[in-house]
Amino acid sequence: MKNLIAGNWKLKGSPNLADSYISHLSRIKPDNCIVVVCPTHDLLGYIYDKWSNEFGHLGAQDCFHDDTNYNDGLGTPDEIVSRGAKYIILGHSDRRNKCHETSELVRKKVNLAWNKGLIPIVCVGEESGDRKGNLTQIVVNGQIADSIDFDNLRGPFVIAYEPVWAIGSGNIPTMEEIGEVHDEIRKLLITLTDETRGGNTPLLYGGSADVQNASSILAVENVNGLLIGGASLNIQTFGTIIDCA
Ligand code: PGA
């Protein structure tokens, strides 16, 4: 399977960053990996106007869990689709922890994303206390099982394993630890779906992934790509990670 390299700009993008992406991606036209760029909702439209399919795909960060426009805040899935997004990051730890989003709410958003033809990138990951207490896999498996309606799968999805303590901290698990979690996620997905679907769902690693560690992480079995926050805010850095993939 091709690696999927997703850049999560969080709330930090700008038209200048979007322009630097367009200029870089139009030069390299990545085809050895799938590139997904996830700017803020306002920048989605800006970047979409200049986008070409040769660059990869656009993605959104989160959406409201109901598709009527008469709600306050967050983007509707329709608006996101109209701005060219194909992917959507859901269940990011910022949403789970800072906005108290439960896996049940994430599941609603996943279902809605499927209804609109979007591919959800479902984020899961343990807190440092969970890891110290040997609870990593219980937490991760629970979040996956509760965030996705496995009895009624209606579209493809991607899992991003992002240890909460690794996000933005410069600390990452060892390659063995990443491998262990990804192997278990793969087994879980095969159990909850089937060999083909579970075996072919992309599993991304996220949390302080950067140019220094990208190649090593991508070499770990059952890692099929990266979800990159801070290091995606510079196109040279992000471009080097694309090269690694
Ligand atoms: P980071 O963020 O790469 O800056 O750690 C990853 C994420 O939040 O998705």
pLDDT in tens, 85-140: 999 999 999 999 999 999 999 999 999 999 999 999 999 999 999 999 999 999 99
Which pLDDT tens digit goes with each residue over 152-189?
Answer: 999 999 999 999 999 999 999 999 999 999 999 999 99
What residues are annotated to the active site?
92, 162
Q: Is 125 in the pocket of ligand 1 (CB under 6 A)?
A: no
Which pLDDT tens digit goes with each residue over 72-89?
Answer: 778 888 989 999 999 999
Complete DSSP assignment for 134-190: T-HHHHHHHHHHHHS-GGG--S--EEEE--GGGTTTS----HHHHHHHHHHHHHHHH
- The residue whose C-alpha atom lies closest to atom 2 belonging to ligand 1 is 229
Q: Which two tokens stand for residue 233?
A: 């805010």
For ligand 1, the distance from its centroid to the CA atom of residue 36, given in whole angstroms, is 14
Taking residues 10-29, what's their average pLDDT? Answer: 95
For ligand 1, the distance from its centroid to the CA atom of residue 30, given in whole angstroms, is 22
Q: Collapse the DSSP code of 230 into the 3-class scheme (helix H, G, I; strand E, B; otherwise coil) and give the result.
A: helix
pLDDT of residue 71: 79
For ligand 1, the distance from its centroid to the CA atom of residue 162, given in whole angstroms, is 8
Q: What is the DSSP letter of 207?
A: S
pLDDT of residue 73: 77
- The residue whose C-alpha atom lies closest to atom 9 belonging to ligand 1 is 229
Mutate to test the pocket of ligand 1, among 92, 99, 208, 237 (most ligand atoms within 8 A of CB): 208
Q: Which of 68-72, 190-194, 225-229, 237-241 has the lowest mean pLDDT?
A: 68-72
Q: Is 228 in the pocket of ligand 1 (CB under 6 A)?
A: yes
Residue 99's closest CA among 131, 66, 73? 73
